[in-house]
Amino acid sequence: MRRYVIAGNWKMNKTPAATRAFIGELAPMVAGKDGCDIVLCVPFVDIAVAAEAAKGTNIKIGAQNVHFKESGAYTGEVAADMLLEAGAEYVIVGHSERRQYFGETDETVNLRTKAALAAGLKIILCLGELLEARQAGITEEIVSMQTKLDLAGIPEEDLQNIIIAYEPVWAIGTGLTATPEQADEACGIIRSVVAGLYSQAAADAITIQYGGSMNEKNAAELLAKENVDGGLIGGASLVAEKFTAIALAAN
Ligand code: PEP
């Protein structure tokens, strides 16, 4: 059985004080809802406060990026062991906003994934096609290529610490959601690429999330699909009631 994972991506939202208040509100609402893992990926400066506030709850904390070097002259970057020590268990890698605005490539996504794995973090590896790619009918080619490049050189045993988030770029923050069928199809394509790269057992075991304007209204339908094992949620993860409703749908 694959584990469902509902993860919030707060992006550049909430201060440490707002983080503490949010987790105080969320924790009783999701207590005992253990049919899925619940993760909040927060800004770097919120990680320590979030980890402290989440202690003793079923909420896990993640970061939104990680550098691929262990240390050194990389101003503004944060290394994997820093995230771990601050209290992060997960890290998002390759989010489309990093690819779009900060020059992230499949090569750096692969390097970041390897560095985070080596440090003992769990990875939420994001990939997905642009609108032009979908309109040109090359979604399968794009997500297959990204899956292969992003996982290059990563051994099968490390897949237990990797979640793949299929996030069509045209659906992120736009209010446009992939239909459940589109999400299922793309997650299924990624799963079959994993089967080809590794094994059917690895493909059957890996958690593949859908992300892109998932909310409390559409989550149940998306999560009901065979190949959709959870969600990466931006906007709706900033409101405790909405995020809870999505976690309940996954339960
Ligand atoms: C995201 O940030 O990964 C995301 C899916 O955002 P939203 O839910 O706001 O579309």
Q: Whose CA is nearest to atom 4 of ligand 1?
A: 234
Quick one: average pLDDT of 87-97?
98
Instruction: Identify residue 2 by its one-letter amino acid code.
Output: R
Distance CA 234, CA 65 (A): 15
| pLDDT tens digits along 201-244 | 999 999 999 999 999 999 999 999 999 999 999 999 999 999 99
- CA separation (Å) from 99 to 33, 34, 104, 128, 225? 33, 33, 4, 11, 27
Residue pair 24/53 in contact by the 8 Å Cβ criterion = yes
CATH number, domain at 173? Answer: 3.20.20.70
Ligand 1 site, residue 235, Cβ cutoff 6 A: yes
Q: What H or E segment, with its residue span, contains residue 38?
A: strand 36-41
> How many structural domains compose the chain?
1
Q: What is the Å distance from ligand 1's center to 73 Cα?
A: 31
Q: Is the pTM of this model over 0.95?
A: yes
First to last CA, the chain: 14
Residue 228, C-beta contacts closer than 8 angstroms, at least 6 positions apart: 180, 183, 184, 187, 208, 209, 210, 222
95 as an active site residue: the answer is: yes
Ligand 1: which of 10, 131, 172 to mutate, judged by most atoms within 8 Å of the beta carbon? 172
Confidence at residue 201, expressed as pLDDT on a 0 to 100 scale? 98
| pLDDT tens digits along 9-40 | 999 999 999 999 999 999 999 999 999 999 99
Does pLDDT of 1 surpass 90? Answer: no
Confidence at residue 54, expressed as pLDDT on a 0 to 100 scale? 98
| pLDDT tens digits along 143-169 | 999 999 999 999 999 999 999 999 999
Confidence at residue 218, expressed as pLDDT on a 0 to 100 scale? 97
Residue 231 alpha carbon, nearest atom of ligand 1: 5
With cut-offs at 50, 70 and 90, classify the pLDDT of residue 173: confident
| pLDDT tens digits along 176-206 | 899 999 999 999 999 999 999 999 999 999 9
Residues of the chain above pLDDT 70, percent: 100
Does pLDDT of 131 surpass 90? Answer: yes
167 as an active site residue: the answer is: yes
**Tokens (6 digits) for 206:** 């890996």
**Tokens (6 digits) for 212:** 């892109």
Confidence at residue 119, expressed as pLDDT on a 0 to 100 scale? 98
Look up the domain containing 131 and give its range: 4-250
Orientation of helix 16-30 relative to helix 47-54, angle to 10°: 30
**Tokens (6 digits) for 39:** 């993760």
Write down the catalytic residue from 104, 129, 167, 216. Answer: 167
**Tokens 């309940």 correspond to what residue?**
248
Q: What is the Å distance from ligand 1's center to 172 Cα?
A: 5
Ligand 1 site, residue 46, Cβ cutoff 6 A: no
Quick one: average pLDDT of 41-64?
98
Distance CA 174, CA 171 (A): 6
What are the b/e assignments for 126-158, b being 16+ CB within 10 Å?
bbbbbeebbeeeebbebbbebbeebbeebeeee
